[in-house]
Amino acid sequence: MTKTLPYFLLGTSIFLFSFLSYAKTEKVTETPLPNGLIVHEYKMQNGMRLLFVPERSAPVFTYQVWFRVGSATEKMDPKLKKTGLAHLFEHMMFRGTPKVPDGKFDTILSEAGATGLNATTWNDRTNYFESLPKESLDLVFRLESDRMANLVINEKLFKTELGAVIGEYKMNEDKPSRVAYRELYDLAFTVHPYKYTTLGTLEELNSFTVEEARFFYKKYYAPNNATLILLGDFEIPQAIKLAEKYYGKMKSQEIPEHVPPTEPAQEKLRTKEQIHPLAQTDLIMTGYHIPNINHQDIPALEVAASILAYGNGSYYEENLVQAGIASSASCYTAKSRYPSLFVTSVQLATGQDTKKALSVIEEGVNFVRKGKFSSTELERAKNQYLLYTYSELLSLSSIGSTLGESLMSSGSYTRDFEILEAIKAITKEQVVEAANKYFVDKNKNLLTLKPKAK
């Protein structure tokens, strides 16, 4: 195992409640990252959270705004009870405000030299981001805060953007792997909102109204539901002043903490077959129910995923892909706010037998459950995870994404690094125990996506 600085032990112990607070903005913590950069956390009076990561090796910065709302939230909201609006609304945010008319937001930022201007929506969060030269910090604060408070939502813009979203929906329908993913979650969940996709259904999309969009905006795009992550070349006092100037007047809202229906424990194996007109070979996906990101078993499950499918030396790469049974194989632990899935995805090679592939997938599961992996394989798996996490620290935007995803799903922006520390110390016994707890048939969902018969 590679030796690294005990950065996180240092980070957790700091918790500096600074006396150097600003009029309306309080300093909360200061946490070093594994690469030595420091995350400075502040909280504004209206509840907006600010994470600053100064890094001055180039005259640029990355600006990300994260909202604690996603497709699962809207499904739980008693006034909406549908999915698709959170994502459709993400599109609407690029339209206009009274001060920045439709079409101008992109243009102004582009003229200032913005790169990576985009947004994404997921189950439990939505984020907006861009990177700019350092001179444009004031401009970005102005534009981002303006669209957070003053968005124009009218029928015409709503319908146009709905067209683009339907285009995105159809584009996904043409991708067998996306359809399989949707069907797996639909199979695995019976009542929890993770059952539904972020994109929603065509029926739901066509049913949304401008009033629902306005309701959604007012309720969830509030400062106490938002986090600004700013990384790069800037001074913290300057950033706090700008935050207070542009976000300070926004009023906090009452954000309901929706409690999702508890997914009943699965009692037996569930299976489903689906046909896709563009599929070429069978795609097998399995999903085992696992706990939420803050659960103590998550690090062990991450190591299990790494043993099975991270790197060319992984079990499935060797026994499925290099053996010619599959053209690709992957595993991941969905680290989410609520209990989710440990997913395996195997695309069969042409002419290969699905039964054979299923048997190798099961052998892999037993390889972990029975602890057949050596100490070298355990170390390989750990270091592959380390490589992946450290690689995320190579650019400002990916550092921001790591902090944001962690915060949105766990409540702590350092959760990913806590998992990393736990993985460094994990034992074979812990991995075996977790595998035996979760990788059992009565907890398993099996989806097979097949080509249309020729």
Partner 1 sequence: MYKILTLFFILITTANAEISLNENPNSGNFIYEQDTKALVTEVQVVFQSGSIDDPKGKEGLSSIAFESLLRGTKKNSKKDFFSKLETLGGSTSVDVSSNRAIISLSVLSDNLKPALELLSEAILSPSLKKEDINGLIQERIGSLNQELANNRSILKRAVRFSLYEGTSLETPPSGTLKSVPNIKVEDIKNFLDAHRKSENVIFAIATNHSKNDVKKVIEEVFGDFPEGKSPAHPKIDLPKITGRNLVVVEREGSSTTEMTISHMGILANDPIRDEIELGLFVFGEDMSSRLFQELRAKKGWTYGAYATQRLIEIPRSHSGIFSIYAFPQSEHTKDTVLRSIELYNEYVSKGLTAKELSFAKKSNGNAYPFKFASSSARLTSRLYQRLDGAPFLPTKEYRASLKKMNLKSIHKAIKKMHDNKNYIITLVGDPKQIEPLKKEIPELNSVRKIEDIMNP
Applying the rule CB under 8 A, the residues between 53 and 72 that interact with partner 1 are 57-60
* Contact letters for partner 1, residues 384-403 (x by CB under 8 A): x-xx--xx-xxxx-------
Nearer to partner 1, 148 or 279 (CB): 279
- Contact mark string toward partner 1, 336..375, x via CB under 8 A: -----------x-xx-------------------------
User: Which of 261/313 has CB closer to partner 1?
Assistant: 313
Which of 29, 123, 126, 136 is in the footprint of partner 1 by CB under 8 A? 136
In the complex, minimum distance from the CB of residue 281 to partner 1, in angstroms, rounded to a whole number: 7
Tell which positions 143-162 bind partner 1, by CB under 8 A.
159-162
CA nearest neighbour of 121 among 83, 151, 153? 83
Between 76 and 152, CB nearer to partner 1? 152
Number of amino acids touching partner 1 (CB under 8 A): 75
Q: What are phi and psi of 303, to 5 degrees?
A: -65, -40
Q: Tokens for 265?
A: 């424990």
Q: In the β-sheet with 115-121, what is the strand arrangement from edge to edge?
A: 25-32, 38-44, 49-54, 226-232, 60-67, 126-133, 115-121
Select the residue interacting with partner 1 from 14, 171, 269, 425 (CB under 8 A).
171
Q: In angstroms, what is the minimal distance from the CB of 306 to partner 1?
A: 10
Shorter beta-carbon distance to partner 1: residue 166 or 210: 166
- Applying CB under 8 A, among 6, 313, 366, 370 the residue interacting with partner 1 is 313
Is residue 97 within the footprint of partner 1 (CB under 8 A)? no
**Span from 109-117, 256-264, 356-364, 428-436 in contact with partner 1 (CB under 8 A):** 109-117
- Binding partner 1 by CB under 8 A: which of 3, 268, 355, 454? 3
Q: Between 198 and 237, how does the x/- string for binding to partner 1 read (CB under 8 A)? A: ----------------------------------------
Residue closer to partner 1 by CB (options 18, 110) is 110
Q: How near is the Cβ of 430 to partner 1 at its closest, in Å?
A: 19
Q: Which is nearer to partner 1, 203 or 267 (CB)?
A: 203
> By CB under 8 A, what part of segment 262-291 binds partner 1?
277-281
* Shortest CB 428 distance to partner 1, Å: 15
Indicate the residue among 250 and 348 with the shorter CB distance to partner 1.
348
For residues 112 and 383, what is the distance between their CA atoms, to the nearest angstrom?
A: 41
Residue 124 beta carbon to partner 1: minimum distance, rounded to whole angstroms: 24
13 binds partner 1 (CB under 8 A): no
Interface with partner 1, residue 448, by CB under 8 A: no
Q: Which is nearer to partner 1, 78 or 163 (CB)?
A: 163
- Pick out residues in 30-49 that bind partner 1 (CB under 8 A): 34-37
3-state secondary structure the chain: CCCCCCHHHHHHHHCCCCCCCCCCEEEEEEEECCCCCEEEEEEECCCCEEEEEECCCCCEEEEEEEECCCHHHHHHCCCCCCCCHHHHHHHHCCCCCCCCCCCHHHHHHHHCCCEEEEEEECCCCEEEEEEEEHHHHHHHHHHHHHHHHCCCCCHHHHHHHHHHHHHHHHHHHCCHHHHHHHHHHHHHCCCCHHHCCCCCCHHHHHHCCHHHHHHHHHHHCCHHHEEEEEEECCCHHHHHHHHHHHHCCCCCCCCCCCCCCCCCCCCCCEEEEEEECCCCCCEEEEEEEECCCCCCCHHHHHHHHHHHHCCCCCHHHHHHHCCCCEEEEEEEECCCCCCEEEEEEEEECCCCCHHHHHHHHHHHHHHHHCCCCCHHHHHHHHHHHHHHHHHCCCCHHHHHHHHHHHHHHHCCCCHHHHHHHHHHHCCHHHHHHHHHHHCCHHHEEEEEEEECCC
423 is an interface residue for partner 1 by CB under 8 A? no
